[in-house]
Amino acid sequence: MTGDEALAFDTGFFIETQYMKENDPTSLVYRAKQIVVDAAATARARLIDFESYLKGASESERYRLNRWIGYPAKQCKKEFSDLDIQKQLAYNAKYEAYKNSINAIDYTSILEEAINNPNSIPGYELLIIDEAQDLSLLQWKLANLVIEKSKKVFIAGDDDQAICESFGASANAFLSIEGHDHALTQSHRVPSNIHTAIFSPNGIITTLSKRYVRKEKQWKAKDHADGSFQRLADIATLLEMLGKDRDDWLIMAATHNTLIALSNVLKERKIAHFLSNQLIASIESNTEYPTIRLKTIWGAKGGEAKNAVLLRGPYADENMLNDDPRLEYVAITRAKENFYICTI
């Protein structure tokens, strides 16, 4: 469905633009997003009906949907009334009817169509499934059809980096896979001081072990690398460092709005950077390729930098980080030398 088609149904749709590749306008994609439609897609990804999803929704899931219904912020974590549920079911049914009327199909429907036509599923001599902790039950249903037809299968993942459960992913499905386990016990990125902070009694691994059913694992820090783990006093300290040190920087936040706020400050200071892969340049720096990258934690996944920063403070960001502390683990493990937590 195009952005115009989505807006024709409801002007409340948000059309998200995203550069899939750094500084490449040809990689620009558009995604039509709407909170109820996205929640219904998550239910399908979990292989449950939308009503069951709404009745079992978490506080953070209810918060976003209650805002759409129109409740004030202080009431948005409350459970849905029957009327609230019926309103959301009716909206989604109306959207599905509209989608069918214009012959549109979404990503979830593509997966469902493939599953319903197993004869169309190919097999392979070698099948590799990466980031397996982020697959939903629906995706696993399709993946298992491919696995059954393939000769050799490697499945890679890390349940400590399972940050897509709010979109329907199932880390438990990954952990329950039967087969020969091979743990990677040597990091080629994370230096010793950051490794020590991660595994300290008050570190993020302790938090994850208390919060989730997880696979216990030990891994070693990068050889011959000390690095540092620091908390910055304020945003002014970070800005001073960015102005002086043009080394490799990856600055992460849980929400895009927090990144936009920092990007605006960097623009005022004429510091060139990338915001979610889009070049934000200044006249003074048009001959230099920027080394500062601003990304959400999800967008930074798989990336790395000499200096990694996690921005904390804004209410929405803290809600997300508290709701899923694995986000912090992913942010910390992007650092090759130095990791900073900066409250803004």
pLDDT tens, residue by residue, 106-123? 999 999 999 999 999 999
Count CA atoms within 13 Å of residue 245 on its CB side.
13
| pLDDT value of residue 40 | 98
How remote is the C-alpha of 184 from its chain's centroid? 23
Every domain of the chain with CATH number 3.40.50.300 lies at 192-343
pLDDT of 282 over the 80 cut: no
pLDDT of 206 over the 90 cut: yes
154-185: per-residue pLDDT in tens?
Answer: 999 999 999 999 999 999 999 999 999 999 99
pLDDT of 230 over the 80 cut: yes
Would you say 169 and 162 are in contact if contact means Cβ atoms under 8 Å apart? yes
Mean pLDDT rounded to a whole number for the chain: 95
pLDDT of 248 over the 70 cut: yes
Distance CA 152, CA 68 (A): 46
SS3 at position 217: coil
Closest listed residue to residue 69, CA positions, set 97, 53, 90, 93: 90
Would you say 173 and 161 are in contact if contact means Cβ atoms under 8 Å apart? no
Classify domain 192-343 at the CATH topology level: Rossmann fold (3.40.50)
Split at pLDDT 50, 70, 90, the class of 325 is very high
30-49 mean pLDDT: 97
Split at pLDDT 50, 70, 90, the class of 283 is low
Q: What is the DSSP string of 22-76?
A: TT-GGGEEEEEE-HHHHHHHHHHHTTS-HHHHHHT--HHHHHHHHHHHT--GGGT
